[in-house]
């Protein structure tokens, strides 16, 4: 991919490093929270999920720089990270036995039919929010070779110090020849609770100054970066025209951004979505086909798209292939419980080429 000069694999210890928070997602399935008495536990995190997907499905060497709490929930999370084939690089915190610091809990049900999913948080005294510049020795990490560095808007919204850590990591990455990506993942609830004294757009604008590859839909771009645009609630969710117009604003303001990509999703019901994606590279764009999805669990689809897209770029594939791999992998993620992949690379490639759901015997 000519827009990006990606470090050869043989010169790098890691294909991919992300910095972000690790959380436990409590999932009661289709039962509303007020009536639930059982939960599935999924280890997750917007930035971590991409690393996990790239390791498990795509066979890449990945790592997550994050906070870890030395108590049983931390042990659970740490074991899950290992099981996905991701290296953990941790700033460790001791638990005080009562108040924390904590591994955050994210409560998210699946909804059903006309009833939408519900998401709320318990991120009180979250260890990841305490992370700050200097907590990781980025210089020694990047000197061993890291092809791609990634973070996102969820981690950046946790506190006044987490965006500064993201920027520190991005500067180190660029100094050592790594590609830098950022998923805007704008979450209004998190930004409101962070109470940094600054507008989210002021913080995210500073981050985007260091980014090569930007991920985010039209709402992320408008709300996260404060860009003007058409009413995001009235425009067609599958028409990329207004999104591409917004991208031109991004590129005019941040010429360092070479690649922008997003999923396109129209929700017919909780379990029936129309799904596409768009990729923009220095003035050219590619649009994925529109697929009708029967959704089991929608959480993680965007992270699945990011992983497939990044894999294609790391492999030096052409833009159409990169886009289709992201589109296919994101679609497959919605068919599994939890936030991370259970797909094989063969399944992703088959779907990307237009494969069907006929039984495989």
Contact 217, 243 (CB under 8 A): yes
The values of phi and psi at residue 225, to 5°, are: -105, 0
Query: What sign does the dihedral 27-30-33-37 (CA atoms) show?
Result: negative
Query: Tell me: the pLDDT tens digits for 186-227?
Result: 998 899 898 777 899 999 999 999 999 999 988 899 999 998
310: how many CB neighbours lie within 10 A of its CB? 29
Supply the pTM of this predicted model.
Answer: 0.95
Beta bridge partners, 291, equal 275
Task: Please write down the long-range contacts of 52-55, taking CB distance under 8 Å and 24 or more positions apart.
Answer: 52/81, 52/84, 52/85, 52/86, 52/340, 52/341, 53/303, 53/304, 53/306, 53/307, 53/308, 53/329, 53/333, 53/340, 53/341, 54/15, 54/16, 54/307, 54/310, 54/311, 55/84, 55/85, 55/86
- Quick one: pLDDT at residue 359? 38
109: how many CB neighbours lie within 10 A of its CB? 23
- Quick one: pLDDT at residue 234? 55
Q: How far is CA 301 from CA 31, 199, 335, in A?
A: 21, 28, 9
d(CA 211, CA 163): 13
Q: From first to last of the 361 residues of the chain, give the pLDDT tens digit.
A: 568 999 999 999 999 999 999 999 999 999 999 999 999 999 999 999 999 999 999 999 999 999 999 999 999 999 999 999 999 999 999 999 999 999 999 999 999 999 999 999 999 999 999 999 999 999 999 999 999 999 999 999 999 999 999 999 999 999 999 999 999 999 988 998 987 778 999 999 999 999 999 999 888 999 999 988 666 555 567 888 888 988 989 999 999 999 999 999 999 999 999 999 999 999 999 999 999 999 999 999 999 999 999 999 999 999 999 999 999 999 999 999 999 999 999 999 999 998 654 434 3
- Quick one: pLDDT at residue 232? 57
- Quick one: pLDDT at residue 228? 80
- Quick one: pLDDT at residue 95? 98
Query: Tell me: the pLDDT tens digits for 278-319?
Result: 999 999 999 999 999 999 999 999 999 999 999 999 999 999
């Amino acid at each position: 991919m000519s827009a990006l000069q990606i470090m050869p694999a043989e010169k790098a210890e890691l294909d991919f490093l992300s910095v972000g928070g690790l959380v436990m997602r409590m999932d009661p399935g289709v039962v509303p929270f007020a009536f639930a008495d059982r939960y599935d536990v999924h280890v997750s995190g917007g930035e971590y999920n991409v690393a996990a997907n790239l390791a498990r499905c795509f066979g890449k060497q990945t790592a997550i720089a994050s906070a870890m709490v030395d108590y049983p929930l931390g042990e659970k999370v740490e074991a899950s990270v290992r099981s996905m084939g991701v290296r953990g690089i941790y700033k460790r915190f001791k638990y005080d036995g009562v108040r924390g610091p904590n591994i955050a809990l994210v409560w998210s049900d699946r909804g059903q039919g006309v009833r939408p999913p519900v998401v709320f948080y318990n991120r009180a005294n979250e260890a990841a929010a305490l992370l700050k510049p200097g907590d990781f020795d980025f210089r020694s990490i990047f000197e061993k070779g890291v092809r791609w560095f990634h973070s996102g808007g969820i981690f950046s919204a946790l506190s006044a110090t987490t965006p500064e850590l993201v920027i520190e990591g991005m500067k180190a990455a660029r100094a050592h020849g790594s590609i830098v990506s950022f998923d805007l993942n704008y979450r209004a609830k998190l930004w409101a609770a962070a109470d940094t004294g600054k507008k989210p757009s002021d913080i995210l604008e500073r981050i985007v100054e260091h980014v090569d590859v930007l991920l985010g839909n039209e709402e992320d771009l408008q709300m996260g970066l404060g860009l003007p645009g058409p009413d995001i609630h009235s425009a067609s969710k599958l028409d990329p025209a207004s999104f591409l117009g917004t991208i031109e604003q991004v590129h005019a303001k941040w010429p360092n951004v070479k690649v922008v990509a997003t999923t396109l999703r129209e929700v017919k019901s909780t379990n029936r979505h129309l799904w596409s994606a768009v990729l923009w590279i220095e003035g050219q764009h590619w649009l994925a086909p529109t697929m009708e999805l029967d959704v089991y669990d929608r959480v993680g689809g965007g992270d699945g798209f990011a992983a497939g897209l990044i894999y294609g770029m790391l492999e030096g594939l052409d833009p159409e292939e990169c886009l289709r791999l992201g589109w296919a992998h994101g679609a497959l993620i919605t068919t599994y419980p939890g936030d991370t992949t259970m797909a094989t690379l063969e399944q992703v490639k088959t779907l990307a080429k237009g494969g069907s759901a006929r039984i495989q015997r």
